């Protein structure tokens, strides 16, 4: 009997093992959710990674964060956090300031413009989460969260 994932992928051969099917199911689900988020953010000229970086900087408050701290907190790892922050700075959402004697140390802060954008997006993003996952209900969502945490812990 073929699984739902096999049907979605139009795959006729069975998966080699349950772990493979689970891995591909997680990847497929992540891609579907990522695409929906990208579509919701597109009218605001933001990518999901840029949105994530802005949320991280909003959470950091007035102290801001250095580039590596932003990079380490991102949901999806990026190879070049400097370019990510460059783009957000060009858009007027982030400002960076060099601190101290070490010219390499640069602190990034979210601007009023960035805060206003996030404030406008907050309800829309929550609604998107409800639309995409709300049908599972609280019990299943909590179980899913726990299972995914176990999978990440290895």
Report the alpha-carbon distance of residue 66 to residue 47 in Å, rounded. 21
**Is the confidence at residue 66, as pLDDT, over 60?**
yes
Total domains in the chain come to 1
More confident residue, 3 or 147: 147
Domain CATH number, residue 66 = 1.10.10.10
Report the alpha-carbon distance of residue 149 to residue 154 in Å, rounded. 9
The answer to whether residue 128 sits within a structural domain is: yes
The answer to whether residue 135 sits within a structural domain is: yes
The mean pLDDT of the chain is 92
Structural domain harbouring 100? 45-153
pLDDT band of residue 98 (cuts 50, 70, 90) is confident
Q: CA 72, 145, 138: angle at the middle one, nearest 5?
A: 135
Report the alpha-carbon distance of residue 56 to residue 71 in Å, rounded. 10
- Where would I find the H helices in the chain? 4-9, 18-41, 48-60, 67-73, 81-90, 112-133, 137-153
Work out the percent of the chain whose per-residue pLDDT is above 90.
79
The answer to whether residue 11 sits within a structural domain is: no
pLDDT at 103: 64
The answer to whether residue 36 sits within a structural domain is: no
The answer to whether residue 3 sits within a structural domain is: no
pLDDT at 72: 95
Global pTM value? 0.88
């Amino acid at each position: 009997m073929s699984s739902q994932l096999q049907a979605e992928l139009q795959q006729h051969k069975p998966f080699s093992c349950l772990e493979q099917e689970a891995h591909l199911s997680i990847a497929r689900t992540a891609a579907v959710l990522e695409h929906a988020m990208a579509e919701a953010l597109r009218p605001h000229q933001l990518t999901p990674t840029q949105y994530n970086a802005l949320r991280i900087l909003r959470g950091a408050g007035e102290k801001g964060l250095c580039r590596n701290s932003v990079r380490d907190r991102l949901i999806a790892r990026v190879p070049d956090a400097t370019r990510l922050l460059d783009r957000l700075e060009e858009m007027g959402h982030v400002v960076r300031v060099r601190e101290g004697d070490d010219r390499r140390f640069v602190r990034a802060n979210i601007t009023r413009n960035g805060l206003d954008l996030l404030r406008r997006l907050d309800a829309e993003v929550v609604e998107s989460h409800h639309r995409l996952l709300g049908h599972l209900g609280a019990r299943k969502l909590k179980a899913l969260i726990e299972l995914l945490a176990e999978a990440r812990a290895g």
